[in-house]
Amino acid sequence: MKDTKTLNNIIELIKTSEKSRNCLVLSHQNPDGDTLGSMLALGEILTKFGHNVDRAISDPVPEIYKFLPFANLVKLPGDSSLKEKYDIVFSLDCGSVKRLGKAGRFWETAINTVNIDHHISNENFGTINWIEAHATSTGQLIYWLAKNAGVNVSNEVATLLYVTLLTDTGCFSNSNTNSEALSWGSELIQLGAEHLNVYRKAFLEKPFKTIKVFGTGLENLNLIEDGQIAWTFVSKDVLKSFSASGEDTEDIVDHIMRTKGVKVGVFFREDENETKVSLRSNTDFDVSKIAVANGGGGHKRAAGINIKLPLVKVKDLILNKVIEEYNNERNKQ
Ligand SMILES: [Mn+2]
């Protein structure tokens, strides 16, 4: 932790209020395990200080996180039991007001706004901004807050913070998996984090339909260009036959990138009126250029496009572009 001064300001704001305050904790839209775990943990800590706490997110809690402690308390921004105006609103793991989605309206009317995050790109949009770019997860900031405020970290809070750690280290597989991350994980387990249950429920378990759709994605796997480009697809008939949706195909593209020798991966998902393309690269080959040139977007190593054409047409169109660009790059080297 580097910014002790800001942390102390936040603790002062929480502690010094004699009477209980109306607090609201917010996640970014399409919540992941870090934003959600941080928000629920902070909500619980604030209640320990006697404050009235509401929790809101622009989108519903994803199915895989519904088992988390206090997840049942989360409300959507339109919920009539939410107040018009709060004394303190907290934003967790969110880079801008825009990313709060519909829940952003509470930010505009709040008396105090506290922005807690670990993204260097954070827009500092709060009255208090506590950004620790070196932290493993935003949950780690909540842990520091609890420790410094002298709050007892319950096993429920430890479980929530453990979810933030697993999410942002990719279950201890990303490059931010270092000794600090592991020793923090050890502390959380000592505090009673239900680590086995969390790993199984949030990261391992999938519904039957997802496993079946995944199988189809692997069944259709092809290698081209000397095994350096992998591509596969899932048709709308397959999705329909398992009563599955786009969500059930999310792991496929990353999984095909595990094929030895593969540098670029392309996944096609056929929807009702369009085809969704996911592109991946594990080298310097920039897939976002292909995405942008075809009306999509993304990053160098992960990009996507939605095209209002049937799968058969999109498949040839995009694969030809990928092969062409890939060979252009190869010839330059
Ligand atoms: Mn995060």
Rg (CA), the chain: 22
In this model, does residue 18 exceed pLDDT 70? no
Residue 171 C-alpha to ligand 1 middle, in angstroms?
Answer: 13
Residue 306 C-alpha to ligand 1 middle, in angstroms?
Answer: 26
Number of domains into which the chain is organized: 2
Residue 263 C-alpha to ligand 1 middle, in angstroms?
Answer: 27
Instruction: State whether 214 and 178 are in the same domain.
Output: no
Percent of all residues in the chain with a pLDDT value above 90, rounded to a whole number: 93
Residue 118 C-alpha to ligand 1 middle, in angstroms?
Answer: 6
Residue 133 C-alpha to ligand 1 middle, in angstroms?
Answer: 10
Residue 28 C-alpha to ligand 1 middle, in angstroms?
Answer: 10
pLDDT at 90: 98
* Contact predicate 252/219, CB 8 Å: no
Residue 160 C-alpha to ligand 1 middle, in angstroms?
Answer: 13
Q: Residue 64 belongs to a domain with what CATH number?
A: 3.90.1640.10
Instruction: State whether 264 and 279 are in the same domain.
Output: yes
Rounded Cα gap, residues 315 and 233, in angstroms: 9
Instruction: State whether 24 and 147 are in the same domain.
Output: yes
pLDDT in tens, 24-67: 999 999 999 999 999 999 999 999 999 999 999 999 999 999 99
Instruction: State whether 36 and 115 are in the same domain.
Output: yes
Residue 310 C-alpha to ligand 1 middle, in angstroms?
Answer: 36
Give the model's confidence band at 17: pLDDT under 50 very low, under 70 low, under 90 confident, else very high: low
- The pair of structure tokens assigned to 233 is 């697809």
3-class DSSP string for 71-127:
HHHEECCCCCCCCCCCCEEEEECCCCCHHHHHHHHHHHHCCEEEEEECCCCCCCCCC
Please give the model's pTM, rounded to 2 decimal places: 0.86
In this model, does residue 243 exceed pLDDT 90? yes
Instruction: State whether 113 and 197 are in the same domain.
Output: yes
What are the residues whose beta carbons fall under 8 Å from the beta carbon of 243, sequence distance 6 or more? 209
Tell me whether strands 88-92 and 22-27 are parallel, antiparallel or unpaired: parallel
Instruction: State whether 153 and 39 are in the same domain.
Output: yes
Instruction: State whether 173 and 59 are in the same domain.
Output: yes
Instruction: State whether 73 and 11 are in the same domain.
Output: yes
pLDDT in tens, 67-99: 999 999 999 999 999 999 999 999 999 999 999
In this model, does residue 101 exceed pLDDT 80? yes
* Contact predicate 7/38, CB 8 Å: no
Q: Which residues form the domain of 124?
A: 4-204
Domain boundary among 204, 228, 245: 204
Mean pLDDT of 133-154: 97
Domain boundary among 179, 204, 229: 204
Residue 305 C-alpha to ligand 1 middle, in angstroms?
Answer: 25
Residue 125 C-alpha to ligand 1 middle, in angstroms?
Answer: 17
Beta strands in the chain (DSSP E): 22-27, 52-56, 74-75, 88-92, 112-117, 128-131, 222-224, 229-234, 264-270, 275-281, 297-298, 302-307
